[in-house]
Amino acid sequence: MPDRLPPSTKNRTTVRIVHMLRPLARALSRIAPGLAAVLAERLFFTPPRPRPSRGEAVLRAGRRIDLRTENGRVVAWRFGRGPAVILLHGWAGRAAQMSSFVAPLLGRGLSVVALDAPGHGRSGWTRSSAVDFARALRAVAAEVGSVHAIVAHSLGAAAAALALRDGMNVRRVALLGPAAHPPAWFGRFAAALGIPAGVAQQARARSERRLGIRWDELHVPTMAMTLTAPALVVHDRHDDEVPHRDGAAIAAAWPGARLLETTGLGHFRILRDHAVIEAVAAFVAAGAMACDCGASALADGRCESCSVEHELFDRDARWAAHRSMSPA
């Protein structure tokens, strides 16, 4: 069988499983198409186990956060104080892949939260999707409080756009090797598995009912047109996992977004390249202010809560506020 899997699923484990199950899927498609659709949907939405990463040592220095969400357990790690930046990996990845961004962001006075998305790493091995990633991202944001920025890779970038579309507020977004329309991968996957169009349509319908969203809604350039947070899109011209045109389309649709193109880094080395990391950290830190308590600050250098407390208990500040409200 020729290798016709979507780039996001091109690892040895997935290829081997698809090769093994192809005869079964084709047989079920003829005699029990409903069961074939169940098999296809489950296989497509189950991520392969991620490989170990040297970034695990970085995570051990963070404070672990265990959350129970509507999609099950989500594990994250928090570092430092200051405005929070959430790091979100891509399909078949894990938080440790994003660890190179931790120190540069901490060095700019920001705090960092890195999570293992549902079905990945320490968050358990279950079915997952861009929708599940987005829901986990919002759950972590609710736990953290105010979020200054998101740095997301690949499928995680699509999930970040979905979370923003659904009401999550941030001041900055950096998308690395972003996928423009993840459901497009399913057509190639179905061809590799050997199932006919009718079974593929049943699998799609099953996933839409389960996730509560239509696949058409997951087109990132369309979502991007409605988003207002300043965005930086970084994509390598020779990315053989997610094509460069995906990042270019997202940047073109996102109002005011900047596209940073690299050469020779591919889909994963972009996460470890010093120049990329510095560019992302500088972009994310722009305009960020931190209160002494660690929350995002207002113009006076304090967060809203500390600003009120300061005014209540500092006599000079209270008198200054009173005079500013008095008629001339």
Give the DSSP letter string of 304-316.
Answer: HHHHHHHHHH-HH
Residue type, 173: V
- Which domain covers residue 157, as residue numbers? 56-178+227-285
Do 101 and 236 fall into the same domain? Answer: yes
Do 248 and 117 fall into the same domain? Answer: yes
The pLDDT assigned to 298 comes to 40
- Tokens matching residue 160: 């970040």
- Specify which residues 325 forms β-bridges with: none
Do 239 and 312 fall into the same domain? Answer: no
Q: What is the pTM of this model?
A: 0.84
Q: How many C-beta neighbours within 10 Å does residue 219 have?
A: 18
The tens digit of pLDDT for each residue in 187-227 reads 999 999 999 999 999 999 999 999 999 999 999 999 999 99
Paired sense of beta strands 172-176 and 258-262, if any: unpaired
The pLDDT assigned to 328 comes to 44
Do 76 and 170 fall into the same domain? Answer: yes
Residue 5 lies in a domain: no
Do 159 and 72 fall into the same domain? Answer: yes
Contact, 167 vs 141, CB < 8 A?
A: no
Contact, 174 vs 288, CB < 8 A?
A: no
Do 256 and 281 fall into the same domain? Answer: yes
Contact, 262 vs 85, CB < 8 A?
A: no
Residue 262 lies in a domain: yes
Residue type, 126: T
- Taking the C-alpha atoms of residue 84 and residue 77, their distance in angstroms, rounded to an integer, is 12
Instruction: Specify the number of domains making up the chain.
Output: 2
- Taking the C-alpha atoms of residue 19 and residue 13, their distance in angstroms, rounded to an integer, is 10
Do 91 and 135 fall into the same domain? Answer: yes
Residue 155 lies in a domain: yes
- Which ranges in the chain belong to alpha helices (H)? 12-31, 33-44, 56-59, 102-106, 130-144, 155-165, 185-193, 197-211, 220-224, 244-253, 274-285, 304-313, 315-325
Per-residue pLDDT of the chain (328 residues; tens, 9 = 90+): 333 344 444 555 566 788 788 889 999 999 999 999 999 999 999 998 777 778 899 999 999 999 988 778 999 999 999 999 999 999 999 999 999 999 999 999 999 999 999 999 999 888 999 999 999 999 999 999 999 999 999 999 999 999 999 999 999 999 999 999 999 999 999 999 999 999 999 999 999 999 999 999 999 999 999 999 999 999 999 999 999 999 999 999 999 999 999 999 999 999 999 999 999 999 999 978 655 555 555 434 455 556 555 445 555 544 444 444 444 4
92: nearest Cα among 51, 53, 55, 54: 51
Residue 17 lies in a domain: no
Site of tokens 């040297």 = 54
The pLDDT assigned to 314 comes to 53
Contact, 115 vs 121, CB < 8 A?
A: no
Q: How far is CA 113 from CA 16, 54, 123, in A?
A: 34, 18, 15
Do 310 and 165 fall into the same domain? Answer: no
Is the alpha carbon torsion for 123, 125, 126, 128 positive or negative?
positive
Residue 199 lies in a domain: no
Which letter does DSSP use for residue 233 in this model? E
Contact, 187 vs 201, CB < 8 A?
A: no
What is the three-class DSSP state of 283? helix
- Taking the C-alpha atoms of residue 17 and residue 287, their distance in angstroms, rounded to an integer, is 47
Residue 68 lies in a domain: yes
Do 111 and 257 fall into the same domain? Answer: yes
Residue 3 lies in a domain: no
- Taking the C-alpha atoms of residue 117 and residue 95, their distance in angstroms, rounded to an integer, is 8
316: burial class by Cβ within 10 Å (0-12, 13-18, 19+)? Answer: exposed
CATH number at residue 103: 3.40.50.1820
Do 167 and 302 fall into the same domain? Answer: no
- Taking the C-alpha atoms of residue 243 and residue 267, their distance in angstroms, rounded to an integer, is 9
Residue 253 lies in a domain: yes
Do 151 and 105 fall into the same domain? Answer: yes
Contact, 137 vs 155, CB < 8 A?
A: no
- Taking the C-alpha atoms of residue 102 and residue 81, their distance in angstroms, rounded to an integer, is 12
Do 250 and 322 fall into the same domain? Answer: no
Which letter does DSSP use for residue 296 in this model? B
The pLDDT assigned to 74 comes to 95
